[in-house]
Structure formats: C-alpha cells, structure tokens
Structure 1
C-alpha cells in the first residue's frame, strides 16, 4: 500500500471515529460553558491539516467538504433524539477548518512542500 493510500485510509478512519463520537449519547464533561467548542475547533483543524497533506490542488473544495461534514453532524445530532444540533458547534468546526487552511496556505507551506511528494506517491 502506498503512503498516499495509507494516509487516505487513516484519514477516513478519523472521519468515521469523529462521526461515532459526535453521535454517541452526550457525556457531561467538566469545564466552563462552551469549552466543548475547543474540541470542535481542534477536531476540524486536525482533519483539514491531515487531508491537506494529500490534497494540494483546490483545497477550497476540502474546506467546503469539511464545513459540510460539520453541518451534517449537527443535523444528525438534532435528529437523534438524544443530542442536539448547535450553530455554535458548527461555527467552531468551520473556524477550525479555516484556521487550518490558513496555516497550510501561509504558515506551513514548506512543511507540506517537503512531505507532500512523499504523501502523494
């Protein structure tokens, strides 16, 4: 299996794990109100950075897909009967994607450039 294929498989596994975790019955975690938004931001930031390693052209499509995925999760939560969708969660998801997109574009281009050809092989 090529490195690129392995990267895609591991990425999709993360997408599925995130979906399962977000649709699992809610657990009250300690912390101030709204602290779960940090988890949303970090999760989607991570996914964007992960997939940006193998998507080097038209990353804006990846941005739209991940924001759409966040919206899908919120809709599924609202339909579940035991979770609820939250616009603030979607905003945190979207912010994570956009922060990562900016990092990949302007802060980490050399990192991606060095490892990108390996990932795409």
Structure 2
C-alpha cells in the first residue's frame, strides 16, 4: 500500500510538472498541429486539468471523503491554473487568459464528476497489464 501511495504522489508531481512545462514554453515553440479545432488551446487546458483532477482524486480517496477530494481537486485546479496564468502574463511572455483559467477549472470539475468511471477504467487497465506481465514471466 505504501508503494501505491508513492506512485500516486509521483504521478501528481510529474503531471503538475508537465502542465507547468507546457504552459511555460514560448508560444512560438509550440508546433501548429494544423487541426481546425476552434479554441484548441482551451481544449488542451481542459484536458490537462481533467487528468490532474483524476490523479488528485485517486491519491486523496484513501484519506478523505469523496466530497473533500472533489473540493481539493477543484480548488487546486483553480489555484494552480490561476498561478500559471499569472506566470504566463508576467514572466513567460505569453498572455494570461481568463478563459484558459475557466477551462482549467471546468476540466477539474469534469475530472471529479467522471472520476468513478475513470477509476474503473484505470483499474481494468492495470489488472490487464499485471496479468500480461505475469503471463510473460
């Protein structure tokens, strides 16, 4: 159980780092995916914080009630997303955007709402991976 907690902690820290890196690199360094999707950057923000919220809920569910997990995950989405937008505006020479922050928070909310379903899918994938690994040995 202790190892599982450490894995969850490292997943959260790693994912927070990925979000920070992607939001800190200059806009000119981001390749154009040539996808004609309106507001693609908002979709990316939504997705990044959706994943963060699922990771947070999974890490916190052992110690806290579901409601507390959801409040923390949504609060973290707001605080971390807001911090990133401020840093983008002040230091990263990118525009801080209220709509990006809204996408971050909505991604956090959606991650909480869909966490039970995501958890079932993650558990099935882990079980399948463990079974395949065990069968190969």
Q: Same fold (TM over 0.5)?
A: yes
Correspondence for 2:17: 16
Rounded to whole Å, the distance in 1 between the matches of 2:24 and 2:47 is 18
> How far is 1:109 from its partner?
8.6
Distance of aligned partners of 1:72 and 1:42 in 2 relative to their CA distance in 1, 3 Å threshold = same
Unaligned runs of 5+ in 1: 116-121
Per-residue CA distance 1:58-99 (angstroms, 9 max, x = gap): 111221012110010000000025211001111111110011
TM-score by length of 2: 0.72
Correspondence for 1:118: none
Rounded to whole Å, the distance in 2 between the matches of 1:7 and 1:23 is 24
Correspondence for 2:109: 98
TM-score by length of 1: 0.80
Rounded to whole Å, the distance in 2 between the matches of 1:110 and 1:16 is 22
Q: How many residues are matched?
A: 112
Query: Which structure has more helix as a fraction of its residues?
Result: 2
Bigger CA radius of gyration? 2
Per-residue CA distance 1:5-25 (angstroms, 9 max, x = gap): 122112201101210110100
Distance of aligned partners of 1:96 and 1:110 in 2 relative to their CA distance in 1, 3 Å threshold = closer
Unaligned runs of 5+ in 2: 125-137
CA contact (8 A) 2:88 2:94 kept: yes
Correspondence for 1:67: 78
Moved over 6 A (4+): none
Larger relative contact order (C-alpha < 8 A, sep ≥ 6)? 1
Cα RMSD over matched residues? 2.4
Distance of aligned partners of 1:54 and 1:87 in 2 relative to their CA distance in 1, 3 Å threshold = same
Residue 46 (structure 1) aligned to one of 51, 59, 76: 51
> How far is 1:108 from its partner?
2.7
